[in-house]
Structure 1
Amino acid sequence: MKGLLVYVFLLSIGFAKPEGQVVFENSCLRCHQPDSKKPLSYLQKKYKGKAQEVVELAKRCPWGRGLSDLEIELVSRWIAGD
Structure 2
Amino acid sequence: MRVFTYTAFLVGFAFAVSEGQMIFENNCLRCHQEGSKKPLSYLKKEYKGRADAIMVLAKQCPWGRNLSDMEIEMVSRWIAGEEK
Tell me how far apart the structure 1 counterparts of residues 50 and 12 of structure 2 sit (CA, whole Å).
27
Tell me how far apart the structure 1 counterparts of residues 75 and 44 of structure 2 sit (CA, whole Å).
11
Give the superposed CA RMSD.
1.9
Deviations 1:18-43 (A, max 9, x none): 11000000000010011101100000
Tell me how far apart the structure 2 counterparts of residues 63 and 23 of structure 1 sit (CA, whole Å).
11
User: Is 2:51 the counterpart of 1:51?
Assistant: yes
Aligned to 2:73: 73
Tell me how far apart the structure 2 counterparts of residues 24 and 30 of structure 1 sit (CA, whole Å).
9
Q: Which consecutive residues of structure 1, in runs of 5 or more, have no partner in the other structure?
A: none
Number of matched pairs: 81
- Measured after TM superposition, the shift of residue 8 of structure 1 is 4.0
Q: Which amino acid aligns with 2:36?
A: S
User: Is 2:12 the counterpart of 1:13?
Assistant: yes
- Measured after TM superposition, the shift of residue 4 of structure 1 is 6.0
Aligned to 1:40: 40
Deviations 1:31-74 (A, max 9, x none): 00111011000000000000011011101111100001111011
TM-score, length basis structure 1: 0.85
Tell me how far apart the structure 1 counterparts of residues 51 and 9 of structure 2 sit (CA, whole Å).
29
TM-score, length basis structure 2: 0.84
